[in-house]
Amino acid sequence: MTTTPLPPVAPEVTATLVEDLSPRLRKRLDAAVAKLAARPARRDGDTVTIAVDDETELRLYAPGGAVRTVDALSCGCLLAPSCVHRAAAACAAPVADPPPAPAEEPGTDAPATEAASAAAGANPVPGPPSAPADEPARAADAAGPTPAPGPASPPETASPAERAAADALWSAGAAVLESGVDGAGAVTQSALLRAAHTARLRQLPRAAGAALSVVTLLRAARTGDPSYRTADLVTALAQLLGTAHRVRTASGTDLAAARGQARRPYSADGSLRLHGLFTEPVITDTGHGGARTWVAAADGRLFTVGDVAPGGAGRALGVADRAVRLGDTALTHRELGRAGLAVSGATVSPDGRLGAGKGVKAVAARGTAWTQPPLAALWETPPSEQAARALRFSSRHDAPATGGSDLLFLEVELLGAAAEPGGACLLARCLPGGPAVHLAAADDEPALAHRDNLNLLAAATGTRLRIIGRLVPAPHPRLTLLACSHPTGEGTLDLGFDRLSRADLPAPAPSVPLPPSAPGATSAPYLLERRVEQAVLAGRAALGTLGDVSAEVGRVRRAGLPTAAGLLTALCAAAAPRERDHFGRLLPADTDGFAIQWLASARYTAAVAESLCAAAWQEAQPAPAPG
């Protein structure tokens, strides 16, 4: 067997192939997917060929890196094209992103309308440029008396087509909750893919992107992908159901936020002097790979320059040493992470991405050390304030109106390795006198250097470093480590690309007593969170067989969480076994009612987790200096 990856397949292609199967073949589809995934494959240009057996081959033609049509999958078996092999190959392949829409940048010829894609956003398309300050007065004089205002028009609501698409997304998401991960096979996933495709056609990119995320995570869970986390699936499913519900019920600006934006708008930002911070590898669940370089302006705003396309970890490693796509600069991504850039005619998206339009000019400039202004100011903000800002950014259901990030800039002292349920992490203490922070690897991909570097740093106890990490919402301070200053004090390290050696580490200091471990998962909020995750893993029926949960409810209520107690009671009641009619036949399950109760519980547990995370960062702050 070879490890040739399958090309991504468009959602509508997979859905069509599954829908065209006979009921008998649909029952065999999951077994066919598992069998096909174990067969050898080879790539020849844009074509990937899978050996179904010794005499039969299946071909996937992917011009441009993705399979976009049903005819691009062909099988040589006697039952083709009505065989199960084509559908199985589509279900085994990653989900392809929609065709990219041109970015809306000033100075380009991109149309003003939104193009359909899976990119989610919530900012309205920029309107016409504002007039000079005295223009309204001149216009009023020329137009004469202002007519009396008429009755205000009612806020816009979703169209029937949008509500129908949202209903399909809701039903597909509720079906996942009904069956759980084990029952959400290829047929259930194809319903999600069809609903996502319909939502994209109805200009609902936010909901479509959420549905594709759920499919990707379901496949990771069912195949035993080591990177899979149930919490990620809970978050994605809650986003899908929540967005579908908002589309059906929202109006005005809230409806625009629920729809999202297919195209990332860019606005002019004049001239910028940018200072490189670091470069991180990007590997997505859809088989894409690349690099993202973070830079900072003199006023502290953070921006990114990225290059992500189909290719996985191999492409991520290669792109890091390619020139950035910005102006005429010849700097590579890794060079830009340590150098500077002078940009004129800069364009910036709401989430801080720098545009590369025809009017953008950029030249290389001198880099700045993390200990020198203006970068040094990033480390001067107290950790609790940085965590609060990152939580606000990461918990938004809509794209931020201005640039922001979930990055934290800390000065720490390394304390050593600490054991966790999910594996070892690096423990560090914020300086001066701040809380202890759990530092985890940003990615466990073996081709990247994250895990090896973390293991080496764990042996350098007592070392003081400046670090950059991404906030992980947890009941204790936790980050994924992205970059740090070199232990020798010379330069910085991109921990996904640069590899440390033992020769780079100073002699370890005397061992420091480790702080008490984080509280175990027996707290009252966890009782509700556990049931929320159990419903995703095993389906509604698993909660219906719990029986009397009054003991759990009482424990949550005694902990001072009456809302959580009420949600736990309602969730288990909605999962009660199906009743029978007078003839002994099972009545239909109330999947909508259970999905509503589950969504409310999931949103509550997410809010509690954010509150606990903020409280953890607030603890053990250094005392203010005496006046």
- Are 465 and 486 contained in the same domain? yes
Q: What are phi and psi of 318, to 5 degrees?
A: -75, -40
Statement to judge: residues 169 and 241 lie in one domain: yes
With vertex at residue 81, the alpha carbon angle to CA 78 and CA 85, rounded to the nearest 5 degrees, is: 80
Stretch 337-359: mean pLDDT, rounded?
89
557 and 460 in a single domain? The answer is no
Asked if 136 and 174 count as a contact pair (C-beta separation under 8 A), the reply is no
Can you read off the two tokens belonging to residue 452? 């090896």
Q: Is residue 30 part of a domain?
A: yes
CA–CA separation, 42 and 433 (whole Å):
56
Q: Is 80 exceeded by the pLDDT of residue 241?
A: yes
pLDDT for residue 392 is more than 70: yes
Q: What is the mean pLDDT of residues 459-482?
A: 92
Average pLDDT on 219-225 reads 90
Q: Is residue 147 part of a domain?
A: no
pLDDT in tens, 48-74: 999 998 889 999 999 988 899 999 999
Q: What is the pLDDT of residue 105?
A: 52
> Looking at the structure, do residues 398 and 490 belong to the same domain, yes or no?
yes
Residue with the two structure tokens 């996985």: 312
Residue 101's pLDDT band (boundaries 50, 70, 90)?
A: low
Of all residues in the chain, what percent carry a pLDDT higher than 70? 85
Task: Give the count of beta carbons closer than 10 Å to the beta carbon of residue 441.
Answer: 22
Find, among 58, 64, 70, the residue nearest to 45 by Cα.
Answer: 64
Co-location of 390 and 454 in the same domain: yes
Let me know whether 387 and 500 are in one domain.
yes
Do residues 320 and 350 share a domain?
A: yes
For the chain, the domain total comes to 5
Is 33 within the bounds of a domain? Answer: yes
Q: Could you tell me which of 49, 57, 50, 69 has the C-alpha nearest to residue 9? A: 69
Q: What gap in Å lies between CA 323 and CA 343, rounded to an integer? A: 15
pLDDT at 122 over 60: no
Residue where one domain finishes, among candidates 259, 281, 296: 259
pLDDT over threshold 50, residue 255: yes
179 falls within a domain: yes
Given a contact cutoff of 8 angstroms between Cβ atoms, the answer to whether 50 and 32 are in contact is: no
Contact 241, 178 (CB under 8 A): no
**Residue 484 placed within a domain:** yes
**SS3 letters across 370-382:** CCCCCHHHHHCCC
Structural domain boundaries enclosing 23:
11-92
Q: Please report whether residue 611 resides in a domain.
A: yes
Q: What is the pLDDT of residues 402-439, one digit of tens each?
A: 446 899 999 999 999 888 766 778 999 998 888 899 99
Per the listing, tokens 């087509």 go with 161
- Among 476, 504, 532, where does a domain finish? 504
Residue 238: both structure tokens together: 């809650």
Calculate the average pLDDT of the chain: 84
Closest CA to 339 of 272, 273, 275, 271: 275
Torsion angle in degrees (nearest 10) through CA of 432, 435, 436, 439: -90
Quickly tell me which residue has 């495709």 as its tokens: 197
pLDDT at 110 over 60: no
Are 398 and 498 contained in the same domain? yes
- Mean pLDDT, residues 526-537: 93
Mean pLDDT calculated for residue range 464-468: 96
CATH number of 343's domain: 2.40.50
In a domain, 545, yes or no: yes
According to DSSP, the residues that pair with 280 across neighbouring strands are 292
pLDDT-derived band at 475, boundaries 50, 70, 90: confident
In the predicted model, what is the mean pLDDT of residues 258-286?
87
Closest by CA to 554, choosing from 546, 564, 545, 544, is 564
Q: Which of 283-287, 369-373, 432-436, 540-544 has the highest mean pLDDT?
A: 369-373
pLDDT band at residue 102, thresholds of 50, 70 and 90? low
On whether the CB atoms of residues 262 and 101 are closer than 8 A, the answer is yes
Per the CB < 8 A criterion, the answer to whether 203 and 165 are in contact is: no
Cα–Cα distance for residue pair 330/333, rounded to 1 Å: 10
Percent of the chain, pLDDT > 90?
A: 56
What pLDDT shows up at residue 512?
Answer: 57
pLDDT at residue 181 is higher than 50: yes
Q: Which residue, of 472, 504, 536, is where some domain finishes?
A: 504
Q: Would you call 573 helix, strand, or coil by DSSP?
A: helix
303, amino acid identity? F
Higher-pLDDT residue of 431 and 123 is 431
- Going by pLDDT thresholds of 50, 70 and 90, the confidence category of residue 151 is low
Task: Note whether 302 and 375 are within 8 A (CB).
Answer: no
Rounded to the nearest 5 percent, the helix, strand and coil shares of the chain are 40, 20, 40
More confident residue, 482 or 151: 482
Other beta carbons less than 10 A from residue 63's beta carbon: 13
Answer yes or no: do 599 and 553 share one domain: yes
Residues 326 and 304 in one domain: yes
pLDDT at 130: 33
pTM: 0.82
Q: Give domain status of residue 361, yes or no.
A: yes
Whether residues 229 and 339 share a domain: the answer is: no
Looking at residue 138, its pLDDT comes to 34
For residue 476, which of 617, 593, 362, 588 has the smallest C-alpha distance? 617
Same domain for 394 and 494?
yes
Are residues 180 and 153 in contact, defined by beta-carbon separation less than 8 angstroms?
no
